[in-house]
A and B are shown apart, each in its own frame.
Chain A
Amino acid sequence: MADSSLARAVRWDTVVGALLIVVLLLSFGFVDGFGNALNLSFLIGNTLPIALIALPMTLLVVSGEIDLSVASTAGLSGAVMGALWNQGMTIETIIPLCLLLGAVCGLINGLLVTRLGLPSLAVTIGTLAAYRGIAQIVLGSDAVTDFPTQYLDFAAGRIGDTFIPYAFLPFLVLLAIAVVVLHATPFGRSLFAIGASEEAARFAGIRVKRQKLILFTMTGLMASLTGVFWALHYASARYDNATGLELAVIAAVLLGGIDFDGGKGTLGGAIAGVFLLGALQNVMSLQDVSAQSQIVVTGVLLVLSVLGPRVARQISVARAARSAG
């Protein structure tokens, strides 16, 4: 039973990967303007914020936790970046400070969850509101746009005439690191154990609280990196940057087969889920589907991706019961 669910999780990765390829092929064939290099670079560039946060979010959900405050942390980092730039600080000083701030935001989430034993869902809904509120206090309704051009060019540009944005290359490095951490290190192995059974993990000498604290901190750090990228990519630092991004990240990760209850899934699947969602959003934009309707699609995908594995499980249970009874 559990063995077959393991096998199904493996198959689900492949399913999402295959679905991604099908969507891409159909889009190349039937959607005007999809296949040119410029549009593809837009697709990747616009999906990168989701992808960047999906890396730590995957690890977090595998360990049975979640962080809904990531988009607010990204917004706060952007706002602080804008405010400090207005103060005349150099960008080389600002970016490390923003990353530090993000790590602290994540650390706060982690401490509330591990020291006080609060559920991460509740804690991070709270900090989702709080971090965004602070962002608004810091920057007000200003938009800061005059960042140094070489940074803006790096965040928005692509390599020659190819479809590959510059920023995609550092992402690939981060992806490789995340894959190794989750699937090839003792730390990653312990996350699967924690997510599947926290108590059994503790009885096996795994330092559950410490691992979770590390994860929340890394998630905050990556969220602020995403906030910095966002402000540069769109050449606009505002307090409401990346609003609602957590929805897309979580929808994509669950779509990629990461079990909401923890303990199951692969990063490959999660990233396939991210780019599947990104491709769908891109196609909808090309077809002039409104941004509001796109959010509806994201929400429906989120529900389906949670529902799908459960329905599949019930079907297989029913089938087993029928063959047994």
Chain B
Amino acid sequence: MTQRSDTGPSPVLALKDVSKSFGAVRALRDVSLELFPGEVHALAGENGAGKSTLIKTLAGVHRPDAGQVLLDGEPTVFHGPADARDAGIAVIYQEPTLFPDLSIAENIFMGRQPRRALGRIDHKATNAATLALMQRLGVELDPDRPARGLSIADQQIVEIAKALSFDARVLIMDEPTAALTGSEVARLFGVVRTLREQGAAVLFISHRLEEIFQICQRVTTLRDGAWISSELLDGMTEDDLVRRMVGRDLDELYPKQEVQAGEVALSVRRLTREGVFTDVSFEVRRGEIVGLAGLVGAGRTEVARAVFGVDRWDAGEVEVDGKALTNGAPSTAMAAGLALVPEDRRAQGLVMDMSIERNIGLTGLRTTVKAGLMNRGAERSRSLDWAVKLQVKYARIADAVSTLSGGNQQKVVLAKWLATGPKVLIVDEPTRGIDVGTKAEVHRLLSQLAADGVAVLMISSDLPEVLGMADRVLVMHEGRLTAEIPRSEATEESVMAAATGRAAA
């Protein structure tokens, strides 16, 4: 299918032996990359492999220390992002930043709307141009709709439309699927295929390997800032790709241990929060990992928040080890042995400006105390213990957590909660946006916790993760539990059917 490697068209954008250092850190070493029109090219590598630096070099944010950027075969220097944009290069980020109060059309044509006499903005022409862009993408979005309230998936479509309005020939997509649901990913891939057929070159970054195989033709792998390989995906297996990324065979990605389930540890009965979720009942036993699947917006995160007490519930009850929890009181939930690793680690899981030590220490403010005062020695050894146990990679324990990579930040959140010795652990999207090596570590950890008798409730939009790790899968659809599927019967089809409300299993 794609045999254009040597004889076909020449690359529209390329890097040749590019190196880039920040201080003593060599982020890129002699990296080469060729992007061809009509091809989706994957960029693979663990966190810290140099993917971000490479993207920023292509986008004109960084200038290479050595090597060249070639545009249509000609050496080029981008003096800033505007140069790259004018050259037809657009970057679509994981979480777009639109003006919430402006319409879709206004966002796309911000600052360059078609004008009528006296410089008045021609809304009709703006909307018509927007509709034309949407048709090119094969998507139905009302140009007049304000950006506020659009799903992340729709916001990305708006960004892509904006890029097209700039006549972008190269589209760089930085983890666009990280926050999308299955059906949204499918639509995005439809758009990407359309763009490819129209001759665009796409650089696609994702931590989800199956997506790379689904949508890309060629892959370039980076490891520790160095170029490892560029090759056609045809004929490669996921294991091949992982080996190139991590430089060794990865132990199993889903190391699920068989554990005999014990007593009920978490019991949720008829829990309701008006307009958000209704009549949700389930139990999690000691030693079990229960997956909670569903589309984004189905109410999974909201149930977790209410159970932990960050939000109030309107009806129902929650018990941990037979003890009823107080409505809307995280501190009592913690005291009862409940821990929540939240969805958004940067805003909810961590105080980014605080040190690793103190972030882990935040859950110990009641325990690392002597005579009413902080026991700093106990706090430090507690934090060090858990940072070491979870193999967090850091320079000093007193460094701010914002200096860590995403995967290591997530380990700090886990450390913070495991340090409380929880009986019930709720993890919300525990591996979102972290590299495959760390992901396997997190899975091993969850499996070990269950084996040690902890009850684990795992919310995840990553279906292979749910299927690989969970003993049972609960599925939510539009605020209600629609299915409970045992491990033996859980398949992508059965879970998705329940998640989209097509069938009750």
Contacts and interface: CB of A to CB of B under 8 A. Distances in A.
A263 B353 contact: yes
Interface in B5-53: 22-23
The interface residues of chain A, by DSSP majority, are classed as: helix
Interface in B340-384: 340, 342, 347-355, 358, 361-363, 365-366, 369, 372-374
A1 B403 contact: yes
Interface string B212-238: 000000000000000000000000000
B353 to A, nearest CB: 4
B331 interface: yes
B161 interface: no
A260 interface: no
A203 B353 contact: no
Contacts of A180: 373
Contacts of A76: none
Interface residues of B, number: 36
A170 interface: no
A231 B333 CA distance: 48
Contacts of A200: 347-351
A4 to B, nearest CB: 9
A6 B333 contact: no
Interface in A287-314: none
A189 B358 CA distance: 9
Contacts of A186: 365-366, 369, 374
Given A197-B351, A197-B352, A203-B340, A189 B361 contact: yes
Interface in B405-445: 416
A5 B353 contact: yes
Contacts of A153: none
Contacts of B358: 189, 192-193
A203 B23 contact: no
Nearest to A187: B365
Nearest to B367: A186
A5 B331 CA distance: 31
A226 B394 CA distance: 47
B487 interface: no
Which of B63, B350, B362 has the largest count of A CB atoms less than 10 A from its CB? B362
B23 A324 contact: yes
Interface in A1-24: 1-3, 5-6
Nearest to A2: B400
Which of A190, A205, A323 has the largest count of B CB atoms less than 10 A from its CB? A205
B301 to A, nearest CB: 12
The interface residues of chain B, by DSSP majority, are classed as: mixed
Contacts of B361: 189
B62 interface: yes
Nearest to B416: A204
Interface residues of A, number: 29
A196 B365 CA distance: 17
A198 B400 CA distance: 17
B23 A201 contact: no
Interface string A197-233: 1011111111100000000000000000000000000
A196 B350 CA distance: 10
Contact of A6 (B342, B353, B373): B353
Given A6-B400, A202-B330, A205-B334, A325 B366 contact: no
A185 interface: yes
Nearest to A202: B310
B211 interface: no
B402 interface: yes
A203 B350 CA distance: 9
Contacts of A205: 330-331, 333-334, 363
Which of B62, B308, B348, B416 has the largest count of A CB atoms less than 10 A from its CB? B348
B399 interface: yes
Given A205-B330, A323-B23, A324-B23, A190 B365 contact: yes
Nearest to B23: A323
Contact of B347 (A1, A197, A207): A197
B374 A196 contact: no
A189 B351 contact: no
Contacts of A169: none
Contact of A193 (B340, B362, B366): B362
A325 B349 contact: no
A184 interface: yes
A192 B23 contact: no
Contacts of B369: 186
Given A3-B399, A180-B373, A186-B369, A203 B354 contact: no
B450 to A, nearest CB: 23
B23 A2 contact: no
A7 to B, nearest CB: 10
Nearest to B402: A2
Nearest to A5: B353
A26 B492 CA distance: 77
B390 to A, nearest CB: 17
A151 B333 CA distance: 51
A204 B23 contact: no
Interface string A168-194: 000000000000100011100110110
A203 B333 CA distance: 11
A325 B63 contact: yes
Which of A6, A199, A204, A324 has the largest count of B CB atoms less than 10 A from its CB? A204
30 contacts: A1-B402, A2-B352, A3-B402, A184-B373, A185-B373, A189-B358, A189-B362, A189-B374, A193-B354, A196-B352, A196-B354, A197-B351, A200-B348, A200-B349, A201-B362, A202-B310, A202-B330, A203-B310, A203-B330, A203-B348, A203-B349, A204-B362, A205-B330, A206-B365, A207-B331, A264-B353, A323-B22, A324-B22, A324-B23, A325-B62
Given A189-B362, A196-B352, A323-B23, 7 more contacts: A3-B403, A185-B373, A185-B374, A190-B365, A192-B354, A193-B358, A197-B352
Closest 6 CB pairs of A and B: A2-B400, A186-B365, A204-B362, A205-B334, A205-B330, A2-B353
